[in-house]
Structure 1
Amino acid sequence: MMKNSQFFQSLALWSAFLIGSHLPLLAQNPIIILDHGNAPHIVEIEEWKDFTLLGPSFSLINYKEGLLWVSYEGAGLGGRYLMNEKGRFSLKFAKNQGNINNNIDLQPLGGEKSVYGPAALSFDQSKLFFTANQQRGWQGRSRLGIYILDESTQKTSPLPFIQARYNYMHPTWDEVENRLIFASDLGSEGQQMDLYFTVKHSTGWSEPVKLSGINSGTANDVFPHITREGLFFSSDRPGGPGGLDIYFSARNQESFDPPKLLAAPFNSSSDDFSIYINAEGSGGHLTSNRTGSKTGDKIFKFGCGLSCFHEGNVSKTLDVSVICADLKVPLRGVEVIKIPEPTFFKLIRSGNLGFDPVQNILNLDVKTILETVSSQTKCLTSREGRCLLESRTNEKNFMVFLMAEGRQPIMRNIQFGDGFDHISEELEMEADCKLITVALVCPEDDSIKDAVVILEDLASSDRDTILNINGVYQKCIALGRQFIITVEASGRKEVQKIVQATNVIPKNLELWLEKEEVEIVREGTLLELENIYYEYNSYLISPGAAVELDELAAIMTKDSTMVIELRAHTDSRGSELYNLQLSQKRAQSAKDHLVYVGIDADRIRTVGLGESQIRNHCRPGVPCSEEEHAFNRRTEVAILQAGEGVRAIRENGLLRFIIY
């Protein structure tokens, strides 16, 4: 699929960070080739006939330059993939991988009554973890346990937390996290098998913990195998082609990604399990009783080429059609260049390329630099405006560049699917553009924080963000069109300006951002309602003169925790007692208005302060103008209680409230 250009707006910021930092590019999760797109074309798998001749076998691993596996006679795996009590299971060891007929029974616990199952080596090969029946029984039956063979002393010991009532089996050593992963019905005796882990500390082993993100909760998850790239395991969860199917979960920091079902030929309509990847990651083997396996479980070996953790070298084709955006006709002679995305970011990281947010393209020498990239493919559009880019590659993600004289260059990110894929896209190339620079200016010479500059095409209503690169807002806008620039910034009034994109428009635009009066509303905040008007010697609120009371009512409706006190003041004309009574009536009048529009009266307190808090020189007996007396007639709101995030803003002379 082709992503739109807004992706590259954010890419500019990330690229700027990437260039200035010393951090390496983040590694992507491994994409294993054993998926539906690549496995049928890449992987070679065949029955390992040497093991077939020896009889039913499973869970093969490399051990001491030889091979170690489980062999059985009679009944094979039973319910929940436990080793059937009616069968005889043993560990077989062949010192020479080329001659497995020459093998011996490995009996770390000794005795003929022991039942042995899948095993695993620690990374340093000093410990062998193996499955065997527990020495202690539970209700007349012996469950399975995991034991440790110390290769230096040849002494064995069970994992310390093993309980006789539960099964513990199928160990695999995780060298990355220094832990042992295994299957168990721990906590659900007789129920499904889940995957657990225990961490090795200097003082011993931790208590088992269920693996997060892996277990399905209802199905049996068994036969885990861990590599540096991720975790393989088998499960009978719904959705697979067979009874027991193989899954892979890539590592994701300390956990794993959701499991991914492997494709044929790794999974079949039968049971497929106990996959093992060799140390080089180039192949391995698995166990299956798929069609044709009349002798029970068989071991199959497979190869992935160079690696099982990279996609196969398959064909990816891009069919591009380019048209002129204004005339809607095909464009001939457009150069189309495609390079792998990792190569693109490597060029940015090295400083050889710089991202230009003005044109959503790389620096002006991009064509010369890209032509030095050996992994690039390119073509020129035909008379019909088309060109085809085809390559056999391991990559899925690419950067595509379109360049033509008199046209704005285009950069796009394209993502192919798994396996063989073909994408057809039609792109429009705009005419050349006019570069404008937007400068944001504060009257107070303060810094502007969190400014967002939006460019909107008035004809199409398309909106685009002009990025701030090193304090400069620049954009190349298409000629012959009209745009509106909108600036929003924290604590500032919104500013808009209309520009016509012509060759004579100013290159530099200055936009002045005025401050908004913003106050945090909380306990103790005191706000003045400047637009409640009382006539002299009156406590009645004039019709239409309670705009700010209505705004107060609205915020008290949204913030149900807010409790206020209304404080009314008069001027100094009249007696002190009269003014006190008048102010009390004015405060009550304001409260009545709030109650009338739906606010609970219990959330509103009132107090009349008369002429006790004159704000200017107009004391009793002092001659003053009407405007000077009006300055003292006011109603204030004291916040006694309020919720989080309430703000008061004085905008264009009116008080309004918002909640963040």
Structure 2
Amino acid sequence: MMKRYPLPVFALVLALLSGCAGIRMQRADQAYGLLQFPKAARNYERVLDHKEDRAARARSADAYRRNNIMDKAYTNYAVLESTHALRGDTAMAFGEVLMALGQHERAGEMFLRVLEETPENKRAMDLYGSTQGYSSFYADSGRFFVNRLTLPGIATAFAATPYGKGILVAGEKDMRDANGNPWNERPFLDLYYSEKRSIVMWNEAEPLPGLVNGAYHEGPATLSADGKALYFTRSNYLKHKLVKDDRNTSHLKLFRAIRDEDGHWGDLHEFAYNSDVWSTGHAALSADGHTLFFASDRPGGFGGTDIWRCRNNGSGWSEPENLGSTVNSAGNELFPTINGNALHFSSTAHSNMGGLDIFEVHEQNGIWTEPKNLNAPINTPHDDFHFVLDSTGKAGFLSSNREGFDQVFVFIMNEPEFYLQGIVMDESQRFLSNSEVVLHDLTSGEDHSRLTDEAGKFAFKLGANSDFNIRGAHQDKLATSVALSTKGLMRSDTLSVELSLKTIKIGEAITINNIYYDYDEWAIRPDAVIELDKLARLFLDNPTTSFELGSHTDARGGDLYNLVLSDARANSAVNYLIQRGVDPARITAKGYGESALVNTCSNGVHCSEEDHQANRRTEFKVTGVEGMADVRSKP
């Protein structure tokens, strides 16, 4: 027989279960409020094991997201989305998780949903735009080789900065030594030094000697040019206890340390603009030591964390100056670094692949250029940050959690190689051997020459990021040239060119197409400039040759009028060519009016507009070559 329990017993059991769930929720909320996200997530999961709770599900998703556990964050957000369409900040967060997991289309749907609610949300707008053109981030993915560094002695590392014969990094000890940073239950960060054994293998990372490393976090650092001053980020604590604001948040501060003769760091000084109620960190010092860039969520910014700078005025640092809305956004801008005349930083906004992406800007006359995303493989859908070039300018370090945890990666620019293969022919497509081909590098000013082989072929190696002019010449032929460029080309390639040389026939007219004039006018039209520029190039390629430029009209209108009009047009074209550098002693203008028609459309003959157009033409003739008689042709 089934055993029967009194109703009060069931009520007691239910009350106990409800009480346990309530306690778990209280513990989870308390941990979440204290930014103890792993502990919070565990307690929310216990709540969810017993019953579905939308608040617990949302906070569990957020706790996993903040600790970069994107698969579990996705699972929780997906459950929320399945029961009720996400909106606002939750939709934005789910979109970011989807971006990190490579689900760009679904991420775009989330950002679009946010924009429907708040059309002015610039960050959602930027990220939605990124999802619509995502393939462009991979267009030049062969530009760099990227490999993870192995740094023995520390479990994770980031923010590598060249120092001495090695690098400084912010890192965590081996995970077995975890001492409980409540945010992620991992060790606190310290500054370490390591020297290179090979391109990706480094010596055991050793803690930086001196007073820099303390009880809590020490993070990204920047060095003065002489290596004697170190500006580094540190947790705000006093007497081994974190200083927190009224929201129970401990903020970051900037400190300066000085290196003594023994290589130990001490004499610590706080940055003048630190605060107990906002964070200041991630310093980047200019080579001359006059400008200090840093990240801060101080008042007066554009979103979360912005990039700021101070200038050394001789007696200290000037008031912080925000870099403005071109650089900063409604998201977070972090990890500024200075590389030559470029400022690099990371952002969760702008045109972004997901997470933090690395961007580059330049200051021109006090105005910052639009941020340029460095694209793949420097950036990924994960967090990518702290981009530093080494002394060669062709390699360096970046940090990323693309493999799960923060790690330092070395990158090397993949300098592409370019070659030019060409052939020289005459107007009958016959190969011209022993033709001289000159490659002029417009970037360096250097010239290189070759003679074509029996098949009329030639070849050159081209430099990267350069403009070139290739000129081909052969006896009794008009020399010609073409322009080409390797600027903007990121992948190795072989370019091809054909040089077609016309045989010099003194006095033979050659029609120039597409040179038109307005009715009853002789001014050079914009559409004629293209053809005249080609003609100028031809004349400049043949400095020992003299030319005549002739202009013709159709038969409509008076004979004398047409002669005057054609002469004005010919002179207008010649004057343009002279402005382009053609020697005026080598070119003459001649107006033929209607005296050299190419068909039967003379006075009084009815013809189509197409037939009349054939008579309205511009021609040039070779009138002489040095060493030959200067023959002025006749109509």
- CA offsets, 1:227-249, max 9 Å, x none? 22523322333544442223344
Aligned twin of 1:285: 397
Whichever residue aligns with residue 146 of structure 1, its letter is: L
Aligned twin of 2:417: 314
1:181 to 2:260 alignment: no
Whether contact under 8 Å (2:151, 2:205) holds in the other structure is no
- Inter-CA distance 189–256: structure 2 relative to 1 (3 Å threshold): closer
Whichever residue aligns with residue 311 of structure 2, its letter is: V
Aligned to 2:322, which of 178, 197, 210?
A: 210
Q: In the aligned structure 1, how far is the partner of 2:502 from the partner of 2:195?
A: 69
- Inter-CA distance 226–199: structure 2 relative to 1 (3 Å threshold): same
Whichever residue aligns with residue 172 of structure 1, its letter is: A
Q: In the aligned structure 2, how far is the partner of 1:460 from the partner of 1:67?
A: 56
- CA offsets, 1:489-531, max 9 Å, x none? 9xxxxxx9744666779x9x9xxxxxxxxxxxxxxxxxxxxxx
Q: Per the alignment, in what secondary structure is the counterpart of residue 267 of structure 1?
A: coil
Q: In the aligned structure 2, how far is the partner of 1:149 from the partner of 1:460?
A: 63
Whether contact under 8 Å (1:74, 1:86) holds in the other structure is no
Whichever residue aligns with residue 408 of structure 2, its letter is: I
Aligned to 1:246, which of 358, 371, 375?
A: 358
**1:284 CA displacement:** 2.8
- Inter-CA distance 189–329: structure 2 relative to 1 (3 Å threshold): closer
1:104 to 2:213 alignment: no
Aligned twin of 2:571: 485
Q: Per the alignment, in what secondary structure is the counterpart of residue 50 of structure 1?
A: coil
How high is the TM-score relative to the length of structure 2? 0.51
Whichever residue aligns with residue 418 of structure 1, its letter is: M
Aligned twin of 1:379: 452
**1:121 CA displacement:** 0.5
Whether contact under 8 Å (2:302, 2:329) holds in the other structure is no
Aligned to 2:246, which of 139, 149, 156?
A: 139
- CA offsets, 1:273-299, max 9 Å, x none? 2233223435333222224x4xx2222
- Inter-CA distance 497–61: structure 2 relative to 1 (3 Å threshold): closer
1:72 to 2:172 alignment: yes
Aligned to 1:48, which of 149, 154, 162?
A: 149
**Structure 2 segments unaligned to the other structure (5+ residues):** 1-136, 176-180, 238-242, 508-521, 538-543, 553-568, 577-587, 593-619, 625-629
Whether contact under 8 Å (2:141, 2:377) holds in the other structure is yes
Aligned twin of 2:438: 337
Q: In the aligned structure 2, how far is the partner of 1:37 from the partner of 1:342?
A: 25
- Inter-CA distance 125–429: structure 2 relative to 1 (3 Å threshold): same
Moved more, 281-290 or 417-426: 417-426
- CA offsets, 1:100-121, max 9 Å, x none? 5462366746752x42211110
1:123 to 2:225 alignment: yes
Q: Per the alignment, in what secondary structure is the counterpart of residue 151 of structure 2?
A: helix
Aligned to 1:156, which of 268, 286, 292?
A: 268
Q: In the aligned structure 1, how far is the partner of 2:441 from the partner of 2:139?
A: 19
Aligned twin of 2:64: none
Q: Per the alignment, in what secondary structure is the counterpart of residue 484 of structure 1?
A: helix
Q: Per the alignment, in what secondary structure is the counterpart of residue 279 of structure 1?
A: coil
Whether contact under 8 Å (2:142, 2:490) holds in the other structure is no
Whether contact under 8 Å (2:234, 2:253) holds in the other structure is yes
**1:158 CA displacement:** 2.3
Whichever residue aligns with residue 338 of structure 1, its letter is: L
Aligned twin of 2:160: 60
- Inter-CA distance 461–233: structure 2 relative to 1 (3 Å threshold): closer
- CA offsets, 1:216-273, max 9 Å, x none? 5234322222122523322333544442223344675766654433354433343222
- Inter-CA distance 475–315: structure 2 relative to 1 (3 Å threshold): closer
Whichever residue aligns with residue 60 of structure 1, its letter is: A
Q: In the aligned structure 2, how far is the partner of 1:301 from the partner of 1:461?
A: 47
- Inter-CA distance 213–423: structure 2 relative to 1 (3 Å threshold): farther
Q: In the aligned structure 2, how far is the partner of 1:94 from the partner of 1:212?
A: 35
Q: In the aligned structure 1, how far is the partner of 2:330 from the partner of 2:141?
A: 29
Q: In the aligned structure 2, how far is the partner of 1:257 from the partner of 1:245?
A: 17
Alignment of 1:401-480 (within 5 A): 401-416=471-486, 417-425=489-497, 429=501, 432=504, 462-463=531-532, 476-477=546-547
- Inter-CA distance 107–255: structure 2 relative to 1 (3 Å threshold): farther
Aligned twin of 2:600: none
Q: Per the alignment, in what secondary structure is the counterpart of residue 337 of structure 1?
A: strand
Q: Per the alignment, in what secondary structure is the counterpart of residue 49 of structure 1?
A: coil
Aligned to 2:188, which of 89, 99, 121?
A: 89
Alignment of 1:251-270 (within 5 A): 257-270=369-382
- CA offsets, 1:577-616, max 9 Å, x none? xxxxxxxxxxxxxxxxxxxxxxxxxxxxxxxxxxxxxxxx
1:398 to 2:498 alignment: no
Q: In the aligned structure 2, how far is the partner of 1:249 from the partner of 1:484?
A: 49
Q: In the aligned structure 2, how far is the partner of 1:379 from the partner of 1:176?
A: 52
- CA offsets, 1:444-498, max 9 Å, x none? xxxxxxxxx9789xx999546989xxxxxx9953577766113999xxxxxx974
- CA offsets, 1:199-221, max 9 Å, x none? 22211112222336861523432
**1:55 CA displacement:** 0.9
- Inter-CA distance 110–231: structure 2 relative to 1 (3 Å threshold): closer
Q: In the aligned structure 2, how far is the partner of 1:460 from the partner of 1:103?
A: 67
- CA offsets, 1:290-347, max 9 Å, x none? 24x4xx2222234x3xxx5xx71413335457563xxx7566345433243234x36x
Whichever residue aligns with residue 415 of structure 2, its letter is: G
Q: In the aligned structure 2, how far is the partner of 1:424 from the partner of 1:313?
A: 17
Q: In the aligned structure 1, how far is the partner of 2:391 from the partner of 2:254?
A: 23
Aligned twin of 1:221: 333
Whether contact under 8 Å (2:212, 2:218) holds in the other structure is no
Aligned to 1:299, which of 377, 400, 408?
A: 408
- CA offsets, 1:390-439, max 9 Å, x none? 5264353222112133333233331132322344555654565999xxxx
Whether contact under 8 Å (2:306, 2:333) holds in the other structure is yes
Q: In the aligned structure 2, how far is the partner of 1:230 from the partner of 1:40?
A: 22
Q: Per the alignment, in what secondary structure is the counterpart of residue 485 of structure 1?
A: helix
Aligned to 1:389, which of 456, 459, 463?
A: 459
**Structure 1 segments unaligned to the other structure (5+ residues):** 1-34, 76-81, 347-369, 436-452, 468-473, 490-495, 510-660
Whether contact under 8 Å (2:280, 2:296) holds in the other structure is yes
Whichever residue aligns with residue 222 of structure 2, its letter is: A
Whether contact under 8 Å (1:181, 1:197) holds in the other structure is yes
User: CA RMSD, aligned part only?
Assistant: 4.8
- Inter-CA distance 96–395: structure 2 relative to 1 (3 Å threshold): closer
Whether contact under 8 Å (1:91, 1:106) holds in the other structure is no
Which structure has more helix as a fraction of its residues?
2
Q: Per the alignment, in what secondary structure is the counterpart of residue 475 of structure 2?
A: coil
Whichever residue aligns with residue 485 of structure 1, its letter is: N
Whether contact under 8 Å (1:89, 1:117) holds in the other structure is no
Larger radius of gyration, structure 1 or 2? 1
Whether contact under 8 Å (2:224, 2:289) holds in the other structure is no
Whether contact under 8 Å (1:74, 1:87) holds in the other structure is no
Aligned twin of 1:273: 385
How high is the TM-score relative to the length of structure 1? 0.49
Which structure has more strand as a fraction of its residues?
1
Q: In the aligned structure 2, how far is the partner of 1:191 from the partner of 1:232?
A: 19
- Inter-CA distance 84–392: structure 2 relative to 1 (3 Å threshold): farther
Alignment of 1:582-593 (within 5 A): none
- Inter-CA distance 399–463: structure 2 relative to 1 (3 Å threshold): closer
Q: In the aligned structure 2, how far is the partner of 1:110 from the partner of 1:429?
A: 73
Whether contact under 8 Å (2:167, 2:194) holds in the other structure is yes
Q: In the aligned structure 1, how far is the partner of 2:545 from the partner of 2:524?
A: 9
Q: In the aligned structure 1, how far is the partner of 2:394 from the partner of 2:363?
A: 18
Alignment of 1:334-373 (within 5 A): 334-343=435-444, 345=445, 370=447, 373=448
- CA offsets, 1:13-69, max 9 Å, x none? xxxxxxxxxxxxxxxxxxxxxx9787637x544332234x52122112234555432
